[in-house]
Amino acid sequence: MKYFVTGSAGFIGFHLARRLLEDGHEVQGYDGITPYYDVALKRQRLGMLEKFPAYSGVEAMLEDGDQLKTIIGDFQPEIIVHLAAQAGVRYSIENPHGYASANLVGTLNLLEAARAAPPRHLMLASTELGVWGQPALAIPRD
C-alpha cells in the first residue's frame, strides 16, 4: 500500500514509517524538520528511512498548502497518517502562534490536499488539536 506520513522525522512518524517499510509498503514522508528539538536526531532518522528503496521524502512545512497539495496529488496515497505537529504543552505558553500555524492551518492544508486527491483512509493522531476536542480522529471512506 502507499502511505503518506507527515512528521516522518519525528518520534512517532519515524517509527511508523520504518515499520511500514519493513512490512513492504511504499512510504512518502513529509516533514519540515523544525528546530523544536535536536535537528541532527531528525536527520539521522531520515537517513535510516532513506536506506529503503520504497521510501521517498520531502522536506517542507505543512503551512505550504500548495506544495502539500502537489505532493499528495502526485503520490496518490491510499493512506495518509498525519503526525507532523507542534507538540508539547509548556512551549505553547511561550509560542502559541506556532501551534495555531502548524496544528490548525497545517492540518487544514492537509485536509484540503486530501480532499483534492482522496485517500482510502486518513488518520490524525494529535493531542494538540484541543479546540477540536478530539485526541484522535480517523476518517474512513469506505
Binding site for ligand NAD (CB under 6 A): 7, 9-13, 31-34, 36, 42, 61-63, 83-87, 102, 106, 125-128
First-residue to last-residue Cα distance in the chain:
16
CA distances from 11 to 15, 39, 54, 132, 142 (A): 7, 12, 20, 23, 29
Indicate the residue among 12 and 142 with the shorter CB distance to ligand NAD: 12
* For ligand NAD, the closer CB: 133 or 142: 133
Question: Minimum distance between the CB of residue 70 and ligand NAD, rounded to whole angstroms?
Answer: 15
Q: How far is the CB of 118 from ligand NAD (least distance, A)?
A: 21
Looking at the Cβ atoms of 57 and 142, the one nearer to ligand NAD is: 57
Residues 6 or more apart from 127 whose CB is under 8 A from it? 87, 135
C-beta of 13: minimal distance to ligand NAD in Å?
6
Shortest Cβ distance from residue 142 to ligand NAD (Å)?
25
- 3-state SS record for 63-76: CCHHHHHHHHHHHC
Angle, alpha carbons 39-54-21 (nearest 5°) = 75
**Cell of residue 51, nine digits:** 536506506
90 or 142: whose CB is closer to ligand NAD?
Answer: 90
